[in-house]
Structure 1
Amino acid sequence: MQGLGDTPAGWAHLSKQLSVPPGVTMHYEMPLAPTQPVTCNAGSSSTSWFDILAIPVDSREPDDPHGLDESIKKVHAAIDELRKRVPSSKIFLGGFSQGGAMSLLAGSSYNAPLAGIISFSGWLLRAEDTVDGYSTGANKDTPIFVGHGDQDNVVQTSLGVTAASRIKAARGADENGDATPRDAGHGGVTLKLYQGMAHSSCDEEMKDLSDYIASRA
């Protein structure tokens, strides 16, 4: 899922940059976000999964922005459609920025276990519901990959760190982030911070994502 103002074409490079294990075929689905007015764009309309009040996104951003329910339904419907061809356990859900925030929320609330959930440069929405979903819901054991640039000037790096730490805690990780016996063997949450990277992606992040997918393929 793309970020604010982007289209699926913005992430078409994934099919060329990701490496998958021999014999594994990867199919990519990139749903288009709705077009709607966005407050941080002075009310002008653009592709957007939900409203954003201000850039950079920080801890003051609303937890439950306008447009969220409709976008969750759209993402869940896209997964439902994919499940007509493949089991949910073979489906990865991911996104960048606003799409990363959507991935964490839609993944936590989906009703069947997924192969993996990926958030690049994202943050937690409906934080209490999301962390509860990752401790009790269908995806309570699904490994999560969180990547963020340490120089992000659009979505504060601390929001990605907080997202990973809160989900770890909800799953029973100790204060050092290590899994307790309750969470052992479930893959947990991987947090990767990329030095010098702003609100973007990099070759190292793509390599880490490839390794993450290979471990679940």
Structure 2
Amino acid sequence: MKGGLSNVWFDRFKISNDCPEHLESIDRMCQVLTELIDDEVKNGIQKSRILVGGFSMGGCMALHLAYRNHRDVAGVFALSSFLNKESAVYKDLQQSDGTLPELFQCHGTADDLVLHSWGKETNSNLKSLGVSTVFHSFPTLYHELNRTELERLKSWILTKLPGEIDGQNK
């Protein structure tokens, strides 16, 4: 934002995959989001029926939340998102074993804010660490969403959480 303040999920030193993560702000937001998950569980939602995800920085936040703190959620989606090359997520996954939530990831090839190659590299790194992944590239898509992407996400969600409420899976 060229030095201007903005509302974001966490602090970044810069928009690049080749710099340190601002872990203090990421961990602070993970605590806030953990409280939301805990509230849902207290209200009767099984954690195995909770998906976390987001667009851009929200997708990065979901990757941290799920793979560092909540490996028992139903799945993760990250749209136009990436992890830094030396991400704490990778370090945590190197020391883990057990089942990990599936990742659904999409990225536009024309994205000039969050490069497609960063998203693809993130996906490859997570896959090498045991995450089952799905990655969709969208030619000519910039840092934005499109209908096809959202339809694929919807289909993926319905396979992860089938039969939630009869008649409402349309």
Same fold (TM over 0.5): yes
- Counterpart selection for 1:149 from 89, 103, 108: 108
Question: Is 1:90 equivalent to 2:49 in the alignment?
Answer: yes
- Tell me the equivalent position of 2:30: 72
Unaligned runs of 5+ in 2: 162-170
What TM-score does the superposition give when structure 2 sets the normalisation length? Answer: 0.83
1:75 Cα offset (Å)? 1.4
1:214 Cα offset (Å)? 1.3
Equivalent residue pairs, number: 159
Query: Which structure dedicates a bigger proportion of its chain to helix?
Result: 2
Per-residue Cα deviation, 1:107-126 (whole angstroms, up to 9, x for no partner):
11224511110111111158
Aligned residue for 1:212, secondary structure, equals helix
1:126–1:137 CA distance, 2 compared to 1 (3 A): farther
Matches within 5 A, 1:97-108: 97-108=56-67
**Which segment is superposed worse, 189-198 or 119-128?**
119-128
- Tell me the equivalent position of 1:194: 138
Unaligned runs of 5+ in 1: 1-40, 173-187
1:134–1:143 CA distance, 2 compared to 1 (3 A): farther
- Tell me the equivalent position of 1:120: 79
- Mapped partners of 2:13, 2:91: distance in 1: 25
1:142 Cα offset (Å)? 1.2
1:130 Cα offset (Å)? 1.2
1:98–1:133 CA distance, 2 compared to 1 (3 A): same
Structure 1 letter corresponding to 2:6: S
- Tell me the equivalent position of 2:8: 48
1:137–1:84 CA distance, 2 compared to 1 (3 A): farther
Aligned residue for 1:154, secondary structure, equals coil
1:131 Cα offset (Å)? 2.8
1:134–1:89 CA distance, 2 compared to 1 (3 A): farther
TM superposition outliers: structure 1 runs of 4+ over 3 Å = 125-129, 132-135
**Aligned partners of 2:71 and 2:100 also within 8 Å:** no
What TM-score does the superposition give when structure 1 sets the normalisation length? Answer: 0.66
